[in-house]
Amino acid sequence: MKNLFDLKGKVALVTGATHGLGMAMAKGLAQYGATLVINGHTPSKMEEALKQYAALGIDAKGYLFDVTDEKRVIEAISKIEAEVGSIDILVNNAGIIKRIPAEEMEISDFRNVIDVDLVSPFIMSKSVSKSMMAKRGGKIINICSMMSELGRDTLSAYAAAKGGLKMLTRNLATEWARHNIQVNGIGPGYFATEQTSPIRFNGHPMNDFIIERTPAGKWGDPDDLIGAVVFLSSKASDFVNGQILYVDGGILATIGKPRTA
């Protein structure tokens, strides 16, 4: 039982892991023993990210490729398998968001969000599925969102993509369970990252809204996702399939405002 969360001997690929929540989850997987492979598409960000991993004693392998380009993905997966090993854990984290009112959004922008946030997880999952089937085991984790459940102003494309990703997660779990592949999702709430820093100072309306709306009464720390991603990557979740684990401080549990004291 003490080895339920041990990831030694496993190869984990995390897309979009050069910064933010992807990097936090990737670090966690490596700290629990996984051989870490990260994806990005900007050379300078990849170089800086690998330095950060190395400073923590993590020997991460970095691969630059566009997760929306099926040909490039297949080539990259083949290269990773040859150089590192077959992938045991895939975390589909790469994503974008465009905050544009629906009536003003260009169809090209809508399609771009769908392509990155929904189509690319399918491409990535399909590309690793055959080797997982061959060895009769694998873990696929899709990074969903509270927008997999809720709508929000200016996020029509993002909510459509993340809602679709929730159902893709359930359907792939249904199809691939017979091969001992578990496909689950993580739905992060609001986290304190570099991207959210401009709205997290006292007095900013969005900061106050998040603090008041979250029963925990605070923003999440990126490290709060480590337990969830390690659980869903490990033996501990071998009979967990098609689930979305929301790590949101309780936001989705309530429509009320938490007591202040």
Q: What is the mean pLDDT of each run of 10 residues along the chain (261 residues)?
A: 91 98 98 98 97 98 98 98 98 96 98 98 98 98 96 94 98 98 97 86 85 92 98 98 97 79 55
Assess if residue 211 is contained within a domain. no
Q: Residue 232: give its domain's CATH number.
A: 3.40.50.720
Assess if residue 200 is contained within a domain. no
Choosing from 32, 53, 63, 158, which is the catalytic residue?
A: 158
Assess if residue 209 is contained within a domain. no
129, containing H or E segment: helix 120-134
pTM score, two decimals?
0.96
Residue 1: the pLDDT is 64
Assess if residue 260 is contained within a domain. no
Q: How many helices (H) and strands (E) does the chain have?
A: 8, 7
DSSP string, 151-201: --TT-HHHHHHHHHHHHHHHHHHHHHGGGTEEEEEEEE--B--TTTGGG-S
Number of structural domains (the chain) is 1
Distance CA 125, CA 103 (A): 33
Burial 200-238 (b: 16+ CB within 10 A, else e): eeeeeeebeebbebbeeeebbebebbbebbbbbbbeebe
Q: Does the active-site annotation cover 158?
A: yes
Task: Supply the range of the domain harboring residue 74.
Answer: 11-193+220-253
Assess if residue 163 is contained within a domain. yes
Q: Within a 10 A sphere around the Cβ of 75, how many other Cβ atoms?
A: 14
Polymer length in residues for the chain: 261
DSSP string, 72-117: HHHHHHHHHHHHT---SEEEE---------GGG--HHHHHHHHIII
50 and 62 Cβ atoms separated by less than 8 Å:
yes
Assess if residue 207 is contained within a domain. no
Residue 206: the pLDDT is 87
State residue 187 phi and psi, 5-degree precision.
-115, 95
Q: Name the residue among 254, 124, 110 with its Cα closest to residue 183.
A: 124
